[in-house]
């Protein structure tokens, strides 16, 4: 079973004035008729063996997130609240603990709610390939080919499998 974890706890400080603390970019309609959070969830439609998503968000945004899930017909999602933003690792840890309570040894598909992915078919094929790797106990990551070193994001040394 694949459990999508959507990290939607961003604080909305880097896209000001559109995005603000009380209205971060993942809750905005920046690229079409649905928000970035909604796009993230909608691009999962059609991926096999997918469980209901877990959305991790700031406690302050819980009602907006719940409304946006409702707008796209997502009725079974879990919403986990961060009382205080502590970045990716703690948000992912609590979501992984919750996922482990839902299924034995699930595959976690961790996604940011504020990424723009135009080619859904390519994305879904990448997910399918990553699932095959994960089923063989490999860690799969998605990313953009870097154009320059960036210490703010860290480095990943890759190996073809």
pLDDT digits (tens, 9 = 90+) for 23-56: 678 888 888 899 999 999 999 999 999 999 999 9
- Give the span between the Cα atoms of 156 and 137, in whole angstroms: 18
Amino acid 11: pLDDT: 64
DSSP state of 145: P
Q: What tokens were used for 88?
A: 């990716």
CB 113 within 8 A of CB 68: no
Q: What percent of the chain has pLDDT over 90?
A: 61
Amino acid 30: pLDDT: 86
| Structural class in CATH, domain 2-120 | alpha beta
Half-sphere exposure of 141 (CA within 13 A, CB side): 9
What are the structural domain ranges in the chain? 2-120
Q: What tokens were used for 100?
A: 């482990």
The pTM of this model reads 0.87
């Amino acid at each position: 079973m694949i459990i999508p974890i959507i990290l939607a706890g961003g604080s909305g400080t880097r896209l000001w004035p559109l995005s603000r603390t009380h209205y971060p970019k993942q809750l905005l309609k920046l690229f079409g008729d649905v928000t970035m959070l909604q796009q993230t969830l909608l691009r999962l439609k059609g991926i096999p063996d997918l469980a209901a998503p877990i959305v991790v968000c700031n406690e302050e945004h819980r009602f907006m997130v719940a409304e946006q899930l409702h707008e796209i017909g997502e009725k079974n999602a879990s919403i986990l609240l961060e009382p205080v933003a502590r970045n990716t690792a703690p948000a992912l840890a609590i979501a992984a603990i919750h996922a482990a309570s839902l299924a034995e040894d699930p595959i976690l598909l961790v996604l940011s709610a504020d990424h723009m992915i135009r080619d859904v078919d390519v994305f879904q094929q990448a997910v399918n390939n990553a699932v095959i790797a994960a089923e063989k106990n490999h860690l799969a990551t998605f990313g953009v080919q870097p154009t320059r070193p960036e210490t703010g994001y860290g480095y990943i040394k890759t190996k073809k499998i």
